[in-house]
Structure 1
Amino acid sequence: MRGLSGMVDNLWPLPDGWEWKKISDIATTTSGGTPSRKNSEYFTGHINWFKSGELGDSEIFNSEEKITEEAIKKSSAKIFPKDTLLIAMYGATVGKLGILGIDAATNQAVCAIFPKKNLGIKIVEEKFLFYFFKFIRSQLIERSFGGAQPNISQTIINNVTIPIPYPNNPKLSLDIQQRIVARIESLLGEIKHNRSLLEQMRQDTEQLLDSAIKECFALSRMETWKNHSCLGEIAKIIAKQVDPTLPQYQTLPHIGVDVIQANTCQLEDYRTIEEDGVTSGKYLFTSGSILYSKIRPYLRKSVLVDFEGLCSADIYPLSVISDEIEPKFLMWFLISPLFTDYAKSHSGRARIPKINRDALFSFKLVYPNYEEQISIISYLDLIRFEVQKIDKLLKEDEKNFNYLEQAILEKAFRGEL
C-alpha cells in the first residue's frame, strides 16, 4: 500500500482506463459536532445523532441519542443526508465505517464523505468508497497518529489515493463501480452468512461452560451438601497494599479487572507493572490466591493464580485458610448463579455496582466433601478445556474469513473481479 501523506509509492498496476485519484480530487469531507451537554434539552429531540462508537461497517438507522433542531443551530453538529459515507476518526472504533440509512447528524469524531460530481454525475459511488476504506483500514490506522490511540484526521483521509475506473467518463465509471460493488456484495454475502453461523456456534460453545457451572451448582444438588460456613471463615484477604513504583515490583504481573475473563475463570494476556506504568497503590498477592472482581459482579470474574503479582483495588485477593475447601472449588463457586445473585443483590447502587468486603465475607457458603469438590473441579476444567479447543478452531475460521474478505477486496480494486 502507499504512504497516506499525499506521496505515492508501491501502488499496484491498474487496468487500462483506470487511474489513481486522491480522495480530495473526487470527494469533500467534513465532520460533525456535539451540542453542549450542559443543556440537557438539546438531547430530547427526534434528530438521529450518531457517535463514532455506533459505526459498525454497515448501514445505520437509529442512534442511541437524539438531538433537537435547536441543538443543531447552537453547535457545529449538522444534518447529513441519507447514503452519506461515515468513518470514525478516533476512539475505540477508529477506522470503522457506516452509511446513513436516514438523514442524521454525527459527533466530531466522525468524518462524512461526499462524492464530487462531473457533468452532474457522481465521480465515485459511496459504497465503492466504503469497501475501499474497509480494504485499507489496517494500513490507514498504522499510519495514523494521536498519542495513546490512533487518530485518523481529515487530512489523512483526503490524501488517501483510490483506483477509479475511467474517471474522465463519469457515466461509464459509475456503472463499472456499481457492478464491482454488486460483485463484492455477492461474494461477501456468502462470508457474512458463514460468519453468522460461526457466531451462533461461538454462542452455543460459550453456553456449554455456563450450563456446566449451573449443573454443578444447581440448588437441588447443593441441598445435599452438609458443610456450611461464612465465607469469612473460609478465606481472608491477606494481601497488603504496596507502592508499585518501588524497584522490587516493576517486573511483577499487573492484574486488573479487564484481564480476568468473564464466566471462564481464565486470564487474558497481561503486562508487568513497569509496562503498564502503574503508579497508584496496588495489592501484592501470592501464588494460590483467588482474584475476584468486586465491581460489576454480574460479569462473574474470578481466577486462581499460580504466580505472585499486584492487583487493582477493584479486585479482592482471597487466600483460602480452611483445609475443608479446595481453592479451585471456591474459585468456581464465586461465579455460580447462587453467589452471583447474592453479590448483585448486595452491591451498592452507585454508578458501578460493587460488593463490599463485609457482604462478601458474610455470605453463607455451603459446600460438599473434599472428594466431590475435586470431582466438580475436574469436570469444569474438562469442559473449559474442550470449549477452549472449539474456540481456537472458531478463531481460525474467523481469521480465514478475514483473509478471504481481503482477497476479494484486493481483486476488486485491482480491477480483477
Structure 2
Amino acid sequence: MSAQWIKLRYLADFNPGPPNAVRNSSESFPLYPMEAINNFKAPNTAISHEPVSKLLSGYSYLEPRDVAYAKVTPCFENGKGIIGTDLQDPSFATTELTVLRPKPGISQRYLAYLLQSPLFKNQAQSSMTGAGGLKRVSEQFVKDIKLPVPSFREQEKIADQLDHELAEIEASIADQNQLLNLLHEHLKASISHHVQPAELAEQAGVSEITIDGISWRRTTVGRVTTINGGQVDPRVEPYASMILIAPNHIETGTGRILSSETAKEQGADSGKYVARRGQLLFSKIRPTLLKSTIAPENCLCSADMYAISADENWLTNKFLMYYFLSKNFQDTADINSERVAMPKLNKETLASTTLWIPNFTKQNSVEEILKKEISNTLESVSLLKKSIHLNKEKYNIIIKENLKQGGSR
C-alpha cells in the first residue's frame, strides 16, 4: 500500500457556501452551537431551528457530505468536529468551525480521521494565533499541510479498520465521560443541599424559617452585596502587571482558578474592573456555566464579570460563592437569561435574586464541608481524566499508525 502526500487544499474545498436552493428556501434549518458539537460523533439533538434569513451571515454551512473541525481553542485541542453523515439535512453551525467538502476521490470518513490525527493536529496547532485564552487555527496555514492519501479503495479500507479498532476505546471513553458528568452533578446537588436546603423552596412569602434548629432568613442578593464599578485601562501600570481573571480561567462548578496571567500577558486592551483580595468574582456571561471564584490577590477581572463584596453583617463571600455554584442558582439564572442573545445577568436581575442566609456558624460549617467535598471530587475527577487521557493517546496512536502505513515518504 502506498500513498502520496498531498496538500489539504487539494483534498477538499474550504467553507463552501449554501446553494441557491437553500438561500431561497422558506424552511427553517438546524443550528448547531459549539456546545452541541462532539468529537466527530453525532452532535447533540438539543438545537434550535431558524429561518434561513437569519443564518446566511454569521454561521457556517454544512451538508451531509462535509466534514468540519473546530478551529478555536480549547475546542480544537479537545478534538471537536462533525462528520456530515451524522446530519440529516443541510445545516448551519457556529463560525468557529472550518468546513471541508471532500473533492472527488477523497473518502469522507478517511478525511475525518486525517483531521483527528496527530499528522494534522500537531501542525495545525502550531499555527494558532490570538490573545489570552482565545486562539484560532490559521485556515491559510492548514491548506498547505501535506497528508498521506492512498487510493480511494485503500482510504475506505483504512477507515473500516479504524472504525473497528477504535470502537472499544470510544465506548470506554464514553463511559468515563458519563462518570465525570455524574461526579459533577453529584457535587452540584450537594452544594445546593447545603447552601439552599429543599425546604426553603416551599416557603414563598415567608421571611424566616428554622430547619434542624438553624434559622434561615430570606433576602435578595442586592440587599446584602455591593458590586465594584469604574473600569481601568489594563494597558497602563500598575494594572498591566496585575493578574487578570476572566471566565475562561475559572473551572465550571468548583470555583477553582485554572490558570493565571497578567493583563499584559493576555494582551488586554479594553476596560477591566479592579478586585480586592477575597472578593467574589462572578461571571455574568452565560451564568448557567456556574463560574465564580474568590480573588486570590488584588487583581483585575474581565468586564464580563462582577467583583462582589458580601455585607459582612449578613454573610461571607465564600458562602455566597457556593450559592452561585448551586443548582438552585443555575435554575434561576436559566430562567432570567434565556431570552438574551448572549445569555447574561445584568445587575438589576442579579440584585433581585432570592437568597436564604443562615447564621455565621452554619455558613462556616457549610464552607468547610464543601471545601472538603470539592477537594475529594477534584481528586476523583483528576484520576478519571488521566485514564481518559491515556485512552485518547491510544486512540491517536492507532489513527496515526493506520494512516502512516501507506504514507512513508
Range class of TM-score, shorter chain: 0.7 to 0.9
Q: Which amino acid aligns with 2:103?
A: F
Question: Is residue 277 from structure 1 mapped to residue 256 from structure 2 by the alignment?
Answer: no
8 Å CA contact retained: 1:43, 1:66:
no
Which position in structure 1 is the counterpart of 2:301?
311
Which of these residues, 87, 97, 120, is aligned with residue 137 of structure 1? 120
Question: Is residue 197 from structure 1 mapped to residue 180 from structure 2 by the alignment?
Answer: no
Question: Is residue 149 from structure 1 mapped to residue 142 from structure 2 by the alignment?
Answer: no
Question: Is residue 371 from structure 1 mapped to residue 350 from structure 2 by the alignment?
Answer: no
Q: Which amino acid aligns with 1:86?
A: V
Q: Secondary structure at 1:287's aligned position in 2? A: coil
Normalised to the residue count of structure 1, the TM-score between the two structures is 0.73
Which position in structure 2 is the counterpart of 1:4?
none
Question: Is residue 403 from structure 1 mapped to residue 393 from structure 2 by the alignment?
Answer: yes
Which position in structure 2 is the counterpart of 1:11?
none
1 CA distance for matches of 2:250 and 2:379?
19
Matched ranges for 1:197-346 at <5 A:
197-216=175-194, 217-220=196-199, 223-224=210-211, 225-226=214-215, 228=217, 231-232=221-222, 234-237=224-227, 240-341=230-331
Which position in structure 2 is the counterpart of 1:110?
99
Larger relative contact order (Cα-Cα within 8 Å, sequence gap ≥ 6): 2
2 CA distance for matches of 1:318 and 1:251?
22
Question: Is residue 86 from structure 1 mapped to residue 76 from structure 2 by the alignment?
Answer: no
* Greater Cα shift, 397-406 or 310-319: 310-319
Which position in structure 2 is the counterpart of 1:3?
none
Q: Secondary structure at 1:141's aligned position in 2? A: helix
Could you report, residue by residue, the CA deviation over 1:131-167 in whole angstroms, capped at 9, with x for unpaired residues?
Answer: 23322232331354676521234x8546614163xx6
Which position in structure 1 is the counterpart of 2:13?
30
1 CA distance for matches of 2:44 and 2:387?
30
Which position in structure 2 is the counterpart of 1:5?
none
8 Å CA contact retained: 2:188, 2:325:
no
In structure 2, do the counterparts of structure 1 residues 42 and 295 end up closer, same or farther at CA, with 3 Å as the change threshold? Answer: same
2 CA distance for matches of 1:266 and 1:331?
11
In structure 2, do the counterparts of structure 1 residues 23 and 188 end up closer, same or farther at CA, with 3 Å as the change threshold? Answer: same
Offset at residue 285 of structure 1 (A): 1.1
Which position in structure 2 is the counterpart of 1:20?
4
8 Å CA contact retained: 2:62, 2:99:
no
* Greater Cα shift, 395-404 or 348-357: 348-357
2 CA distance for matches of 1:408 and 1:289?
48
In structure 2, do the counterparts of structure 1 residues 386 and 18 end up closer, same or farther at CA, with 3 Å as the change threshold? Answer: same
8 Å CA contact retained: 1:51, 1:110:
no
Offset at residue 181 of structure 1 (A): 2.9
1 CA distance for matches of 2:33 and 2:338?
30
Number of residue pairs matched by the alignment: 374
Offset at residue 230 of structure 1 (A): 5.2
In structure 2, do the counterparts of structure 1 residues 30 and 366 end up closer, same or farther at CA, with 3 Å as the change threshold? Answer: closer
Q: Which amino acid aligns with 2:137?
A: P
Structure 2: gaps (5+ residues): 201-208
Max Rg structure:
1
2 CA distance for matches of 1:41 and 1:201?
43
Offset at residue 372 of structure 1 (A): 1.7
Q: Secondary structure at 1:267's aligned position in 2? A: coil
In structure 2, do the counterparts of structure 1 residues 410 and 326 end up closer, same or farther at CA, with 3 Å as the change threshold? Answer: same
Offset at residue 57 of structure 1 (A): 2.0
Could you report, residue by residue, the CA deviation over 1:319-351 in whole angstroms, capped at 9, with x for unpaired residues?
Answer: 234245233122212334445555556669543
Offset at residue 30 of structure 1 (A): 2.2
Which position in structure 2 is the counterpart of 1:388?
378
2 CA distance for matches of 1:356 and 1:106?
30
8 Å CA contact retained: 2:16, 2:100:
no
Q: Secondary structure at 2:363's aligned position in 1? A: helix
2 CA distance for matches of 1:359 and 1:177?
55
Q: Secondary structure at 2:184's aligned position in 1? A: helix
8 Å CA contact retained: 2:241, 2:263:
yes
8 Å CA contact retained: 1:243, 1:280:
yes
8 Å CA contact retained: 1:296, 1:353:
yes
In structure 2, do the counterparts of structure 1 residues 31 and 104 end up closer, same or farther at CA, with 3 Å as the change threshold? Answer: farther
